[in-house]
């Protein structure tokens, strides 16, 4: 734990990027009602970054603590293990997050096995998305048979996790109006059926079905309190991943406060210690910026314009103007990854987390 915190604090002091979210593709095999990225997925782009471009990016980046692959459905890229290894080899990345809808069991197994075998010191957190039970989940996700497929995916990956301590499998649940009335039952059933930790992420941005955002702060608080209670009773994770859980629980607290007070409650490190890279190479401080300010015509720097030198890009006037906008507006949102990083790169918050860790 101490070594991980030390790396975070060094990145914080140096003003380096320690956490990157990469939309490796916008392509998706689901039609989720709750997805904020649906317009990108439906429009598609032939200009997604290539394997060779990721190689160039990582060689110039040189150092990155954590990377998360998202989309779209990341497993639709056949070169995902290669990209993961580039970050491991060229950036000394030792923490990787990968989220999937679970629709591709065999592809998931192949990808996970390849990533694990090629990167022995990498801690891989694989998250499978589940929003409801059975056919109700399929309805939210827009794909018949999704629940059955993800059940197969989880069963297969659990076998791999049994023999690899650096792989953790868990459930991500998007909290929305479609599951809020039955949320405690859903959490209990998922936990019992799959024997895995469940994390809640509240719906955000401009989803495909806007009525899915009808949630009250107290409803959210009740749901995350149930998650916390289960964790304390079952002690569901250990070691490195327990650190993540303690951060996540603090994120829940802050998210509730934002919902309740509708204002900024924590200094955000988006663009400073955390960045987002789109499938076409645009670099954003935060994926919620355009969602929070839909009428603002933002200009984002693109990696191709800077010969894939992320450091030169971050020093550009274009990127500086984005950070200036964030500071001037004092924007805030419930994007859990941004909140998590704002906690992790805050020395005071780190001390609080250490005191909670037992």
Residue 47 pLDDT > 50: yes
- Note the pLDDT of residue 83: 99
Lowest mean per-residue pLDDT among 65-69, 173-177, 206-210: 206-210
Q: Return the residue matching tokens 């990721």.
A: 54
Residue 244 pLDDT > 80: no
- Note the pLDDT of residue 26: 96
What mean pLDDT comes out for the span 323-341? 92
Residue 348 pLDDT > 70: yes
- Note the pLDDT of residue 16: 80
Q: What are phi and psi of 41, to 5 degrees?
A: -65, -35
What mean pLDDT comes out for the span 121-150? 98
Residue 65 pLDDT > 50: yes
What mean pLDDT comes out for the span 29-55? 92
Q: Return the residue matching tokens 């950070």.
A: 323
- Note the pLDDT of residue 238: 52
- Note the pLDDT of residue 3: 54
93-107 pLDDT, tens digit each:
999 999 999 999 999
Share of the chain above pLDDT 70, in %: 89
What is the average pLDDT score of the chain? 91
Q: For residues 287 and 335, what is the distance between their CA atoms, to the nearest angstrom? A: 9
What mean pLDDT comes out for the span 125-153? 98
209-238 pLDDT, tens digit each:
989 999 999 999 999 999 988 877 666 555
Q: Which of the four pLDDT bands, split at 50, 70 and 90, describes residue 13?
A: low
Round to the nearest angstrom and report the end-to-end CA distance of the chain.
11
Q: Which of the four pLDDT bands, split at 50, 70 and 90, describes residue 156?
A: very high
Beta partners for 168? 125
Which domains, ranges and CATH numbers included, belong to the chain?
Answer: 2-356 (3.20.20.70)
User: What's the per-residue H, E or C state across the chain?
Assistant: CHHHHHHHHHHHHHCCCCEEEEECCCCCCCCCCCCCCHHHHHHCCCCCCCHHHHHHHHHHHCCCCEEEEECCCHHHCCCHHHHHHHHHHHCCCCEEEEEECCCCHHHHHHHHHHHHHHCCCCEEEEEEECCCCCHHHHHHHCCCCHHHHHHHHHHHHHHHHHCCCCEEEEEEEEECCCCHHHHHHHHHHHHHHHCCCEEEEECCCCCCCHHHHCCCHHHHHHHHHHHHHHHHHHCCCCCHHHHHHHHHHHHHHHHHHHHHHCCCCCCCCECCCEEEECCCCEEECCCCHHHHCCCCCCCCCEHHHHCCCHHHHHCCHHHHHHHHHHHHHCCCCCCHHHHHHHHHCCHHHHHHHHHHCC
Task: Provide the CA 205 distance to its chain's centre, in angstroms.
Answer: 15
- Note the pLDDT of residue 15: 67
């Amino acid at each position: 734990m101490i070594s991980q915190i030390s790396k975070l604090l060094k990145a914080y002091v140096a003003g380096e990027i320690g956490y990157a979210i990469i939309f490796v593709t916008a392509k998706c095999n689901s039609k989720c009602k709750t997805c904020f990225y649906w317009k990108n997925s439906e429009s598609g782009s032939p200009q997604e970054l290539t394997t060779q471009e990721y190689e160039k990016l990582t060689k110039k980046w040189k150092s990155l603590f954590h990377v998360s692959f998202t989309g779209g459905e990341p497993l639709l890229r056949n070169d995902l293990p290669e990209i993961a290894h580039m970050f491991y080899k060229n950036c000394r990345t030792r923490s990787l997050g990968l989220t999937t809808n679970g629709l591709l069991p065999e592809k998931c197994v192949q990808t996970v096995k390849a990533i694990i075998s090629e990167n022995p010191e990498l801690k891989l957190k694989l998250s499978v998305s589940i929003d409801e039970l059975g056919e109700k989940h399929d309805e939210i996700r827009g794909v018949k048979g999704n629940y059955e497929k993800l059940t197969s995916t989880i069963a297969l990956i659990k076998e791999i996790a049994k023999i690899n301590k650096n792989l953790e499998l868990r459930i991500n649940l998007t909290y929305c109006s479609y599951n809020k009335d039955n949320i405690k039952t859903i959490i209990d059933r998922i936990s019992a059926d799959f024997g895995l930790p469940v994390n809640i992420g509240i719906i955000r941005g401009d989803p495909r079905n806007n009525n899915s955002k009808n949630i009250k702060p107290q409803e959210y608080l009740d749901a995350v309190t149930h998650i916390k209670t289960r964790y304390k009773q079952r002690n569901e994770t250990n070691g490195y991943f327990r650190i993540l859980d303690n951060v996540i629980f603090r994120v829940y607290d802050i998210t509730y406060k934002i919902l309740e007070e509708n204002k900024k409650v924590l200094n955000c490190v988006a663009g400073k210690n955390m960045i987002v890279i789109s499938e076409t190479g645009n670099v954003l401080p935060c994926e919620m910026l355009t969602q929070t300010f839909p009428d603002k015509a933002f200009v984002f720097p693109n990696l191709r314009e800077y010969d894939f030198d992320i450091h030169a890009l971050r020093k550009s006037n274009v990127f500086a103007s984005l950070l200036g906008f964030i500071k001037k507006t004092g924007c805030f949102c419930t994007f859990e990854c941004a909140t998590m990083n704002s906690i992790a790169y805050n020395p005071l918050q780190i001390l609080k987390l250490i005191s909670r860790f037992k």
